[in-house]
A = this chain, B = another copy of it.
Amino acid sequence: MGAVTRAAVLGASGYGGGELVRLLEVHPAIEVTFLGAKDSAGMTLGASHPHLARTSRGADVLQPIDVEAVVAAADLVFSALPNGSSSPLAPALLDAGVQVIDLAGDFRLPADRYPIWYGFEHPAPGWLDEAVYGLPELFAGRIAGAKLVANPGCYPTPTILGLAPLLTAGLVEPGPVRVDGKTGISGAGRSAVEAMSFSATEDSVRPYRVPAHQHTPEMEHGLALATGIDVTVLFVPHLVPTVRGVLTTTYAPLGAAVTTEQLVACLEAAYGSEPFVRVLAPGEMADSKRTRGTNVVELQAVADPRTGTAVMVGAVDNLVKGAAGQAIQNANLMLGLAQTTGLETTAVYP
């Protein structure tokens, strides 16, 4: 066993932070040495996350997020803070030589999109050029050398992975793309909100934030990065009564005479050797439940020549491949480890 990297988890009291701690508990080469929190500073990890109470490794008390303390304790920072919180903080960490993986949206877009989609002027636009968009199946090389990784959003991950190879191969034509998203409630974060209560959520299906969800420009930007092709995306997210799981159904213009078999073959060619991608055979249907607790993404593609549509379905666990698991996959690349290190778990099913 080689050296163990000391890591900080900022935003440790949220779902993303808790998931990072859960997954890193079995990681052989990364140790959590600092737990940072805002409102929950001073609590033990077990008080904040009872299911993590037995943790004996690493840090145990949530600390205020002080840059000097973080730098002293860690060589790598996972920031699971809310949107808008990491961009004022990251430059000082980076300047001190710490590598940063940001799970929020703060480093995913060009600067001019922030006022429109996030509602703030970006405080550190210079770092946006340094940031690497952390979708390992598409950008592994750049991630390996990155100081700052922008970990993708939960919805963009399966959407971009499903669409990019088909765009590049010309099986899908570059017209407007409509993405219909379905997410579990944990995607809304850990919070006390009546609309996310069990009473309001059981037997409820509802769209939200239409058509202004901030993952819209991320899908456009990620697709452009991956393919060099500009597509315009409409994204309509829906809340469904699950806890984990994101499933996106993408409708794009189908190339002439393209078949389901061609779409699937293209995805298999792109991802055949990727350890976390499960390309479904024609006729198989994706199921978000099969990804629960794991870093797996399921990809399904169907051609509908009647309407000239390519349908791509992608499913991930929003807290793992859609957040903490992908962040660790990125960390593995940055540290020169195998991508799967610490992530070889199987879905807890049923």
With both beta carbons as reference points, the residue of chain B lying nearest to A277 in the complex is identified as: B54
Instruction: Look across to chain B and name the residue whose beta carbon is closest to the beta carbon of A52.
Output: B346
Query: Which of B25, B200, B313 is close to A350, meaning CB atoms less than 8 Å apart?
Result: B200
Interface members, chain A 24-65 (any B CB < 8 Å): 25-26, 49-55
Report how far A201 CA is from B202 CA in the complex, Å.
10
Which residues of chain A from 1 to 28 have any CB-CB distance to chain B below 8 Å in the complex? 15, 18, 22, 25-26
Min CB distance A185 to B, Å, is: 4
A259 part of interface (Cβ distance < 8 Å): no
Binds B, one of A82-90, A106-114, A125-133, A228-236: A228-236
Query: Which of A233, A241, A247 has the largest count of B CB atoms less than 10 A from its CB?
Result: A241
Known: A198-B185, A346-B22. A311 touches B236 (CB 8 A): yes
Is A221 positioned at the interface, with any CB of B under 8 Å from its CB? no
Give how many A residues have a beta carbon under 8 Å from the other chain's beta carbons. 81
B193–A192 CB distance below 8 A: yes
CB of A329 to closest CB in B, whole Å: 15
> Given A207-B249, A234-B307, A182 and B185 touching (CB < 8 A)?
no
Contact segment of A95-103, A144-152, A285-293, A330-338: A285-293
- Interface on A for B, CB 8 Å cutoff? 15, 18, 22, 25-26, 49-55, 176-178, 180, 182, 184-186, 190-194, 196-208, 210-211, 232-234, 236, 238, 240-245, 247, 249, 251, 278, 285-290, 292-293, 296, 300, 302, 304, 306-309, 311, 313, 315, 344-350
